[in-house]
Structure 1
């Protein structure tokens, strides 16, 4: 399981010892979680880990008219444009009545943002 800056921030504690919720967590979520007893908190924590793992492991999907050529998990730290996320090489249709479709291949960097995927175009791949 990958540890991110957000994970590390989630483990910060105040001088009183009570964990501090990261600022990214909405107030309505934090308040609801804080009202739960210890048993429920542990079940929420387990469920959250399972949900995060599930989202991380979901395969990259492309549209029916696209052709997936290659998928490479990078595992980088996101320090530059070509690290972090998943490298996807795919061919895509041009949207016109074209005898050469699909075109490409093209490289994309795909990163998960919550439930959604963010596709960043990197460029054409020389075949």
Structure 2
């Protein structure tokens, strides 16, 4: 006899215990809602990406992990070359929604 699949260990106990009790229609609705929620979090449009005054966006691309943004930045040091327009970078970020705000996840320098 087959055993039910085990829930992911990261899942809160109340979800892991409550989800298997739902009927098939509710589970399908839950799956659809989760897919929509993931698409909302990961699908940040280029028009929503803004930067500080002393930064520049090089590219914005959609990916399965979120929106990839390549940008150049200022370090903020008073005597640095970036204060004269020679920005640092480019650097890669993955931008996703976290609640109502955008979360910028730094991924490191981009190879030239």
Q: CA RMSD in A?
A: 3.3
Alpha-carbon contact 1:104-1:124 (below 8 Å) kept = no
Residues 80-95 of structure 1 mapped to structure 2, 5 A cutoff: 87-95=68-76
**Gapped regions of structure 2 (runs ≥ 5):** none
TM-score, normalised by the number of residues in structure 1 = 0.56
Number of equivalenced pairs: 102
Alpha-carbon contact 1:109-1:122 (below 8 Å) kept = no
Alpha-carbon contact 2:44-2:66 (below 8 Å) kept = no
Greater RCO, 1 or 2 (C-alpha within 8 Å, sep 6+) = 2
Higher helix share: 2
Residues 33-112 of structure 1 mapped to structure 2, 5 A cutoff: 33-59=19-45, 61-65=49-53, 66-73=55-62, 87-96=68-77, 99-101=83-85, 103-110=87-94
Runs of 4+ more than 6 Å apart? none
What is the DSSP-based 3-state SS (H/G/I as helix, E as strand, rest coil) of the residue aligned with 2:6? coil
What is the DSSP-based 3-state SS (H/G/I as helix, E as strand, rest coil) of the residue aligned with 1:58? coil
Equivalent residue number for residue 122 of structure 1: 109
**Gapped regions of structure 1 (runs ≥ 5):** 1-14, 76-83
What is the DSSP-based 3-state SS (H/G/I as helix, E as strand, rest coil) of the residue aligned with 1:88? strand
TM-score, normalised by the number of residues in structure 2 = 0.61
Higher strand share: 2
